[in-house]
Amino acid sequence: MEGFGKITWLDGKEYEGHWKNNKMHGKGLFKWPDGRVYEGDYVDDKKEGMGKVTWPDGRVYEGMWLNGMQHGEGKYKGKDDIWKEGEWENGKRVK
Question: Is the whole model's pTM more than 0.85, yes or no?
Answer: yes
Q: What pLDDT is attached to residue 2?
A: 87
- Structural domain boundaries, residue 53: 3-93
Domain at 35, CATH number? 2.20.110.10
Q: What pLDDT is attached to residue 95?
A: 73
Q: How many domains does the chain have?
A: 1
What is the block-wise mean pLDDT of the chain (95 residues), using blocks of 10 residues? 93 97 97 98 97 96 97 95 94 87
Give every CB contact of residue 31 below 8 A, 6+ residues apart in sequence: 13, 14, 15, 37
